[in-house]
Amino acid sequence: MTDIIPVVPYEDIRAAHDWLVKVLGFTPGGVIEDGSGTVVHGEVQLGDRRIWLHASASGLSTPNQSKAATGGVVVLVEDVDAHYAQAKAAGGEILSEPTDQDYGQREYGVKDPEGHSWWMATPFAT
């Protein structure tokens, strides 16, 4: 194996793409439309890692659609406190403030507009 690509479902892929870039600081990877102008795929990047944004209508559901938490994504960042300040200033819905965790990282939680939980974290220096 050489890589792993998380797939996260969204009802509005374009809006999710733009939110992930603006609030969480991902690099835009673009969106792909079908012949009618409907966005059918999106991608954001962090370094050499990608996350695919997939249409929820294809059998996957968002937390808002299912009315339940369906998982989440942990993203390692260089400075979690600075990242938190940026995400909060950009209007992110904060789930938890930056906190040192017993399992070796400082993290905070933020929820995207379709209900997905994102935990941004910085491992403790070893």
User: Is 23 inside a domain boundary?
Assistant: yes
What pLDDT sits at residue 70? 73
Q: Which residue has the higher pLDDT, 59 or 62?
A: 62
User: Is 65 inside a domain boundary?
Assistant: no
User: Is 17 inside a domain boundary?
Assistant: yes
Question: How many domains would you assign to the chain?
Answer: 1
User: Is 94 inside a domain boundary?
Assistant: yes
Quick check: 120 pLDDT over 70? yes
Which residues make Cβ contacts (< 8 Å) with residue 47, sequence separation at least 6? none
Q: What CATH number has the domain bearing residue 16?
A: 3.10.180.10
pLDDT digits (tens, 9 = 90+) for 70-91: 789 999 999 999 999 999 999 9
Are 5 and 51 within 8 A, CB to CB? yes
pLDDT digits (tens, 9 = 90+) for 16-52: 999 999 999 999 999 999 999 999 999 999 999 999 9
User: Is 62 inside a domain boundary?
Assistant: no
User: Is 64 inside a domain boundary?
Assistant: no
Give the range of the structural domain holding residue 112, as residue numbers without chain letter. Answer: 7-57+71-123
Confidence (pTM): 0.93
Amino acid letter, 56: S
User: Is 63 inside a domain boundary?
Assistant: no
The H-or-E segment that residue 45 falls in is strand 39-46
Total Cβ atoms within 10 A of residue 27: 12
Q: Which residue has the higher pLDDT, 107 or 69?
A: 107
d(CA 82, CA 126) in angstroms, rounded, equals 20
